[in-house]
Structure 1
Amino acid sequence: MATEQLADSVAEPPRGGVPQEPPRPLDAIDRHILRLLQEDGRASVRSVAERVHVSRANAYARINRLIEDGIIRGFTARVDHERSGQGASAYITLKIVQNTWRTVREQLLTLPGVAHIALVSGDFDVLLLVHTADNRSLRELVLTRIQAIPEVLSSRTLLVFEETDLVVDG
């Protein structure tokens, strides 16, 4: 039996990944499919169908609907950053000038090693997760690139000593 991969067998998400209408409610089977795909985004439709006890056509239709509704935003590889040459990871908190989030976000998107950007509430405004080759590269990223953004008022860097990726339970 040939193993068909999801990346080759399901539709692309809508342009921009944002659905036009609110997503339809998820049932237990949809949530189970999401869990399986979070564990292995390369799982075949056939194996997903077998594990959630539905027909292959049903699984295929559900996965396509999850993509069309913007619930599944894409498929990606989970990377071991240290083994891939990015031995330093850090969370960086930023305080920024009020009402400059969009401008700051656009500048942060161009920086090397930025894995996640979030606008948050609390003592700071932005939280970044970055991965760099080493501490020297991390220092350069923070001191030369991030602190050079005019709208960034201050930053704090929290070194990551160890990471564990989790599959989110639906």
Structure 2
Amino acid sequence: MTQVDDIDRQLLRMLHRDGRSTYSELAPEVGLSVAAVKRRVDRLRETGVITGFTVQVDHTKLGRGIEAFVELSVAGSTPVGDIVRTAYEVPEAQAVFTISGDPDALVHVRVRDIGHLQQVIDGLRRNGHVTGTKTLMVLGSWTKDS
């Protein structure tokens, strides 16, 4: 496990909010020089704490404002790789989580409207491995800063 202190955690929170923040913007917030902030961020990247930088997208502006989780139950002998492939064959799938217990997986999807959601669910159900689904609509969400 990599050693991280309070300043590292503060830098991670700030970068989580805005991954495009410059070292000169971060430095005064944590009370360090620009060079010291760069060294810390470089160390966090080299040790794998920071695995990459990403962009946050407003999916409603792309016509995919409805978000849901679809629980998948699959045949008992289905390999995990097949479960993941089943979900990723659906373009609307954002992520797949294989889980213990019942159900076997959660598929996070984004769709245009309820009719589109029904089409996605029907597509998942048509797969030979899926024995049942249950859909959970997302009403709101928040993300905890690191």
Matched, 1:163 2:140: yes
- Of the three residues 48, 51, 68, the one matched with 1:70 is 48
Give the count of matched residue pairs. 145
In the alignment, structure 1 segments of 5+ residues that lack a partner are: 1-22
Q: CA RMSD in A?
A: 1.8
Per the alignment, do residues 68 and 36 of structure 1 end up closer, same or farther by CA in structure 2, a change over 3 Å counting?
same
1:47 equivalent in alignment to 2:25 = yes
Under a length normalisation based on structure 1, what TM-score does the superposition of the two structures give? 0.76
Kindly indicate whether the alpha-carbon contact (under 8 Å) linking 1:38 and 1:167 is maintained by their aligned counterparts in 2: no
Equivalent of 1:104 in 69, 73, 83 = 83
CA distance in 1: counterparts of 2:122 and 2:82, whole angstroms:
19
- How many Å separate the matches in 1 of 2:19 and 2:102? 36
Taking the aligned partners of 1:70 and 1:110, their CA distance within structure 2 comes to: 29
- Structure 2 alignment gaps of length 5 or more: none
Give 1:70 deviation, angstroms: 2.2
Which amino acid is the alignment partner of residue 163 of structure 1?
A: G
- Tell me the CA shift for residue 159 of structure 1: 1.7
Offset, 1:60: 1.2
CA distance 1:111–1:61, change in 2 (3 Å) = farther
Q: Find the aligned partners of 1:36 and 1:30 in 2 and give their Cα distance.
A: 10
Question: Alignment identity in percent?
Answer: 30
Normalised by the length of structure 2, the TM-score is 0.87
Instruction: Answer 1 or 2: which has greater helix percent.
Output: 2
Shift in Å, 1:69: 2.2
Q: Secondary structure at the match of 1:26?
A: coil
**What residue identity is the alignment partner of 1:167?**
K
Aligned pair 1:114/2:93, yes or no?
yes
- Check whether the contact 2:93–2:110 (CA below 8 A) recurs between aligned residues: yes
Q: SS at 2:131's partner residue?
A: strand
CA-CA distance at 1:62 after TM superposition: 1.6
